[in-house]
Amino acid sequence: MNKLKCALVLLFAWPIMLHAEQTKQFGEVSADMLLRQDAVFRQHYDSFSPGSDQLQLMRQLTGKRLVVLFGRWCHDSQREVPKLLKLLTQSNVALERLTLIAVDRQKTTPDQLEQPFDLKYTPTIILFDQQAELGRIIETPQQGIAEDLAAMLSP
C-alpha cells in the first residue's frame, strides 16, 4: 500500500515540479536553461560567431566572477546576453562563477536578488575580482563584450 501511495505522489508531483522548472521566468537561471527555454536567446546564440581575438580576450577573465542581470523581454538583453554566453563557451574561460539573474519589467526578482547591484538598465554585466567590482557593461558594450571586459582588467 505504501508503495502505491509513493507511486501516486510521484506521478502527480513530477509534472508539477517539471512545469515549475520550465516556467521559471525570474531569478537566478542557468545558461543551459535560458538557451533551452527561450527561442530568441537561442537564435542569437546560434547566429553569433566570435573571432579568435575575442576568445583570447575572454580567457583573461580566468578566476573572475560575472553577474549578469537581464530581462527576457529586453531586446538589448536578447542581443547581448547570448553573445556573452557564446564567448564564455567557446573561450573555455574558467570563471570563478557566472550568475545569471532574470528580472521582470520593474527590474526586480521575487527573491530580490537584484538589490545588491543597484540595477537601473538591462542588461547589466558586472565583472568582479573576488569581492571587488571591476566594472560594468550597461545595456550595450562600447567596443564589444570581450573588449570591454578585458579593458576592465587594466588599471
Q: What are phi and psi of 108, to 5 degrees?
A: -130, 165
pLDDT in tens, the chain (155 residues): 666 555 555 555 545 444 344 346 899 999 999 999 999 999 999 999 999 999 999 999 999 999 999 999 999 999 999 999 999 999 999 999 999 999 999 999 999 999 999 999 999 999 999 999 999 999 999 999 999 999 999 87
Domains of the chain: 23-152 (3.40.30.10)
pLDDT at position 154: 85
Residue 133: count of CB within 10 angstroms of its CB: 13
pTM for the whole thing? 0.84
Per-residue pLDDT at 11 = 57
pLDDT in the model for residue 25: 85
N-to-C CA span, the chain = 68
